[in-house]
Structure 1
Amino acid sequence: MNQIQAVTVERDEGYWTHPDLPEWDEGTPRAECIAWAAANGGDFVVIWFEADAPENLIERYFDDGDIDISDWNPVCDKVGSFLLSIHDTEDGPVALFFAPNEQEGK
């Protein structure tokens, strides 16, 4: 299996999914997702829009119903991490990053 790699991100209204990310849905067991990340040599980092975005963007999304989140630019502070997805959930937008495990000797 080829490990997942970073690719160019081209967001549509702020949303995007890595082309090599499996097509998971609400019914996908968490253990399956974690196993996929481990097989690719890393872990997931989740950043929630409501906890990360500026207040004006949060108000625009939740209060005004404007789903365009292009102005939200979440950043993962884990070394080597890259974006896997920015998608909507029942609780609002979320950014999913992949963070490679640190390799010994580096």
Structure 2
Amino acid sequence: MPEEKLIGPIEVVRDESGYWYHPDIPEFDEDAEAYKAWLDTQGLKVVGWHMDSDLESHPYWDAGEPHCLGWEPETPPVYDWFLLGIFDTDDGPYVQWARREVTP
């Protein structure tokens, strides 16, 4: 079995609706367990939050617009986080950051 390529930071170019997904993440067809297993294999810790944690008002909610333009989620304060994605969920736009866990 070939060694798994480790994912890392790349240039982020959000689409016309403000969304972006890291192109090196395999397709999991919404299989959360497979995604978690992949994150473990990658040695990644992830954090994320919904847009409503950062913004009180946005056309996404106010006018039913299907975008997250204007939302610029800040990188977590600890060094070496990189973006995994900004994507829409049933609960609204969501951002997810990752960093490689350091093993002693």
Tell me the TM-score normalized by structure 2.
0.83
- Contact 1:47 1:95 (8 Å CA) reproduced: yes
Q: Which residue of 2 aligns with 1:2?
A: 5
How do 1:62-101 residues align onto structure 2 when only pairs under 5 Å count?
A: 62-77=61-76, 78-101=78-101
List 4+ stretches of structure 1 deviating above 3 A. none
Q: Does the alignment pair 1:18 with 2:25?
A: no
Q: What are structure 2's unaligned runs of at least 5 residues? A: none
Aligned residues: 99
- Distance in 2, matches of 1:15 and 1:51, equals 17
- Distance in 2, matches of 1:25 and 1:39, equals 18
CA RMSD for the aligned pairs? 1.6
Q: CA deviation at 1:103?
A: 4.2
Identity of aligned residues (%): 34
- Distance in 2, matches of 1:76 and 1:25, equals 27
Q: Which residue of 2 aligns with 1:44?
A: 46
Q: What are structure 1's unaligned runs of at least 5 residues? A: none
Whichever structure has more strand as a proportion of its residues is: 2
- Distance in 1, matches of 2:85 and 2:18, equals 10
- Distance in 2, matches of 1:4 and 1:82, equals 10
